[in-house]
């Protein structure tokens, strides 16, 4: 069920009405309602995959209960191992089985040995990477004795499946979201208004910015050889705004919808395209994932302690794993490696934390923002391309600079109109976020007039005929 669908337009008010009017002040009933609603929301794509999320829920609920009953180190490690193998095993099979089989065959073929192996027609369950990491955070935190195991299966299941952020994040920590299911929630009018404004802003980023840009992005990346260097450059930049508008738009809507039900989700994006180096970019981009890797992999590996070689190793592991998390394709691994190579010089020269505090922005800051945005865009080419060779061909053709023509964007009246809408949408987004960055905001703060204006922009500029699934659903 998409946030920008008719089905969800009917689903959300129905759940909201039942939650606040039928089950008002009934905490248990509200949590059961959220659980049932979340199963309906998730099962809307394919009800068969509910079995996976239910299995993961049962596994980690009972593992945590057993962890709470023993202090024996070996037993605790064994129980944690069961959780890791069970959850990562399901994720690995559904997401990476065919990838590993194909890579194995290709590796032997490269040395002249022909092998045959069967692949399976495996459908990737929506959001499996997100809810797997969310439920694992619970088991790991209980293992570390950073939180007590919950006795309520309903509360835990509602935490795992909470529909606003179930399929594309933010990836919530159990220590932050789960306790919110224990407490009675009173309707807060201002909180709900703020939530609606965030939903509108997120919808603008999705249907006006991302989906309009997607029209040209899909054309250009499908056949880059047919387009000029100028058109390839615009396609690259449009994809940067497509993926940002799509993914951060979903996060904004998820946070806004959660506010309607009295829940607080973590901030997942802090205007990342206004970063002055790659380190700052990763403090602003997909924060719930980057902090998950930091706390559960990077720090246990030793973090930035130890020799430089250990630091380099840890950074490389984190970025490569981050790339691989995104999908079963070597392009994602190269994308992660690309960011690791950009990050390492900052780490080695102790510059990776140089932009933690900003009093004001000067011309040098904006020059750094421009350079950082350009290199991030180059990385996005690997993320979007079907193969590594396609990505290199795209970049090689773009940097040939043989032709800077932009005829694609005005060859038909329809193309000219969509191009104009895309440029206008990107401009509105960028100027608004620039204002919030200068004002040191962490979340979008939309006024009542601004929300009304955004609704009009969505209505008149939204790409409803070119409606696209959220990109991160595939991860």
In the annotation, is 326 catalytic?
yes
DSSP 208: I
Cα 59 versus chain centre, distance: 25
Q: Give me 63's structure tokens.
A: 């593992």
How does DSSP assign 235-299, residue by residue? HHHHHHHHHHHHHHHHHHHHHHHHHHTT-------S-GGG-SSHHHHHHHSSHHHHHHHIIIIIH
Q: Using CA atoms, how far apart are residues 359 and 328, in angstroms rounded to an integer?
A: 42
Instruction: List CB contacts of 245: < 8 A, sequence separation 6 or more.
Output: 205, 206, 208, 209, 210, 213, 425, 429
Instruction: List CB contacts of 315: < 8 A, sequence separation 6 or more.
Output: 340, 343, 344, 347
Q: Given the residues 176, 286, 326, 339, select the one marked as catalytic.
A: 326
Name which of 153, 127, 149, 152 is nearest 138 in CA terms: 149
Contact between 431 and 211 under an 8 Å Cβ cutoff? The reply is no
Contact between 161 and 39 under an 8 Å Cβ cutoff? The reply is yes
Contact between 189 and 170 under an 8 Å Cβ cutoff? The reply is no
Query: Would you state the torsion angle of the CA atoms of residues 359, 364, 369, 375, taken in this order, to the nearest 10 degrees?
Result: -140
Contacts of 13-22 spanning 24+ positions with Cβ under 8 A: 16/260, 16/261, 19/261, 20/187
Q: Give me 95's structure tokens.
A: 């997401």
Other CB atoms within 10 A of residue 386 CB:
11
Other CB atoms within 10 A of residue 369 CB:
19
Name which of 162, 131, 135, 129 is nearest 149 in CA terms: 135
How does DSSP assign 363-396, residue by residue? HHHHHHHHHHHHHHHHHHHHHHSSSHHHHHHHHH
CA-based torsion, 57, 62, 64, 65: positive or negative:
positive
DSSP 19: I
Name which of 418, 8, 34 is nearest 217 in CA terms: 418
Catalytic residue numbers?
Answer: 326
């Amino acid at each position: 069920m998409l946030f920008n669908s008719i089905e969800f337009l009917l689903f959300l008010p129905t759940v909201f009405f039942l939650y606040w009017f039928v089950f008002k002040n009934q905490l248990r009933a509200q949590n059961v309602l959220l659980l049932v609603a979340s199963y309906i929301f998730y099962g809307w794509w394919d009800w068969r995959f509910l079995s996976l999320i239910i299995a993961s829920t049962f596994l980690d609920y009972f593992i945590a209960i057993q962890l709470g009953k023993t202090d024996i180190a070996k037993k605790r490690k064994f129980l944690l191992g069961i959780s890791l193998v069970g959850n990562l095993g399901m994720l690995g099979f559904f997401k990476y089985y065919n990838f590993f089989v194909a890579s194995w065959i290709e590796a032997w073929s490269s040395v002249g040995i022909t092998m045959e192996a069967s692949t399976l027609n495996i459908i990737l369950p929506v959001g499996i990477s997100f809810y797997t990491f969310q439920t694992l955070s619970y088991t790991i935190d209980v293992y570390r004795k950073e939180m007590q195991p919950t006795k309520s299966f309903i509360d835990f299941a509602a935490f795992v499946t909470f529909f606003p952020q179930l399929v594309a994040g933010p990836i919530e920590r159990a220590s932050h979201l789960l306790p919110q299911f224990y407490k009675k929630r009173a309707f807060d009018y201002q909180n709900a208004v703020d939530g609606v404004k965030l939903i509108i802003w997120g919808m603008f980023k999705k249907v006006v910015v991302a989906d309009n840009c997607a029209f040209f992005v899909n054309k250009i990346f499908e056949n880059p050889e047919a387009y000029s260097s100028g058109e390839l450059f615009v396609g690259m930049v449009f994809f940067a705004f497509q993926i940002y508008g799509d993914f951060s738009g979903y996060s904004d809507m998820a946070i806004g919808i959660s506010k309607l039900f009295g829940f607080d989700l973590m901030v997942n994006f802090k205007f990342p395209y206004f970063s002055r180096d790659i380190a700052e970019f990763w403090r602003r981009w997909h924060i719930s994932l980057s902090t998950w890797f930091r706390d559960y992999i990077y720090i246990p590996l030793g973090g930035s302690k130890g020799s430089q070689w250990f630091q380099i190793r840890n950074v490389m592991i984190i970025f490569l794993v981050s790339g691989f998390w995104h999908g079963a394709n070597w392009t994602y691994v190269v994308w992660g490696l690309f960011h690791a190579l950009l990050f390492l010089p900052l780490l080695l020269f102790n510059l990776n934390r140089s932009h933690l505090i900003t009093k004001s922005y000067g011309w040098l800051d904006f020059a750094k923002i421009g350079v950082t945005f350009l290199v991030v865009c180059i990385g996005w080419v690997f993320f979007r391309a079907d193969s590594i060779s396609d990505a290199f061909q795209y970049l090689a053709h773009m940097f040939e600079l043989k032709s800077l023509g932009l005829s694609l964007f005005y060859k038909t009246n329809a193309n000219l109109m969509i191009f104009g809408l895309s440029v206008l949408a990107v401009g509105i987004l960028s100027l608004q976020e620039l204002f919030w960055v200068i004002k040191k905001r962490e979340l979008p703060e939309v006024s009542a007039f601004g929300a009304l204006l955004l609704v009009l922009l969505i209505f008149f500029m939204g790409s409803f005929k070119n409606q696209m699934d959220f990109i991160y659903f595939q991860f």
